[in-house]
Amino acid sequence: MRLFILGLSAAALLLSASCKKSKSSSGPANSWKLGSVSYTTKYSTASAVAKQLIAMDAIPSGTNPSVNTCQVTFSALPTSGGTYKIVTLSAATLATNEVIVYGSTYSPGATYVSTGNDGVSATITVSGGKITASIPPVWVKKTGGTDSMQLSGTIIEM
């Protein structure tokens, strides 16, 4: 059920976003690492409807896009920077200073969600209306499974 909800969130996010070419930046790398695999963001966007910042390692196309993603879910999209405690999916309602972090892989198809056990926070900045999330190494657990690994990175809204 959670994978279905995550899939719907990603689909809503993709449908609500317009495609933009990435801009070169002299700031931090727009990438993330899930376990031992590193991904470079090719497309990213934020959705007020899904309350998410999402990064993808490929531009999705067709009905079954083969992309890997990193998502940061907020109680509402931030309009200013701050420090947000990384919590787990079981948090029924996110506080304004909390986020849930996800990493999803296309092959093998799996979604990993933050455990909330690390006691760490993501640093969120907002510049020119664009959101950047700096995620320190945090443990994520496979939904519906027992596998876990670390996720980290810097996601920059394009």
Residue 23: inside a domain? no
Residue 132: inside a domain? yes
Query: Tokens in use for 110?
Result: 């799996």
Q: pLDDT band for 92, please (50, 70, 90 cuts).
A: low
In this prediction, residues 58-86 reach a mean pLDDT of 93
Residue 22: inside a domain? no
Contact 64, 39 (CB under 8 A): no
Q: How many domains does the chain have?
A: 1
Range of the domain at 46: 2-14+29-156
Question: Nearest-CA neighbor of 104 among 71, 74, 134?
Answer: 71
pLDDT, tens digit, 9 for 90 and up, residues 100-148: 999 999 988 999 999 999 999 999 999 999 999 999 999 999 999 999 9
Contact 27, 156 (CB under 8 A): yes
Quote the pLDDT of residue 60.
85
pLDDT, tens digit, 9 for 90 and up, residues 40-67: 999 999 999 999 999 999 998 888 778 9
Residue 98: inside a domain? yes
